Amino acid sequence: MSNPKVLPLIAPEPGAVVPCCPSLTERPFTAEEAETAARMFKALGDPVRLRLFSAVASHEGGEACVCDISDVGVSQPTVSHHLKKLKDAGLLTSERRGTWVYYRVEPSVLASMGKLLSFAPAAA
């Protein structure tokens, strides 16, 4: 008789983003899922925030220094405000390195948003 091997559960890394919601076509959202999705879309509903999010997501290496993405037509304090809103919505993470802050979009965020907006075929 063989001894079954118990594999440990892999816990998400601290700060890792967990997918928020199923596809819109999969089933109706719970109240919590709707709140999470609305927070993400609300954060992206501002043109400056959408430009900042796009600048970080498309930046070489998947992360961007605030010094490289602040040219969006508003003052630096306003850029910082908008980046904070994107972080609060769970769309960006950041890391301070010396005097600069580097932002990144976690791959799980893009995957989650893609899943949310994808068409899930109905079960047969």
Determine the pLDDT at residue 54: 92
Residue 10: band (very low, low, confident or very high) from pLDDT cuts 50, 70, 90: very low
Cα-Cα end-to-end distance for the chain = 39
Q: Of 4-8, 32-36, 70-74, 106-110, which range is least confident?
A: 4-8
* 81-92 average pLDDT score: 92
Three-state DSSP at 3 gives coil
Cα-Cα-Cα-Cα torsion 82, 85, 89, 93, nearest 10 degrees, comes to: 70
Alpha-carbon gap, residue 115 to 51, rounded angstroms: 21
Average pLDDT for 49-64: 90
CA distance 25 to 103: 32
pLDDT band at 86 (very low <50, low <70, confident <90, very high): very high
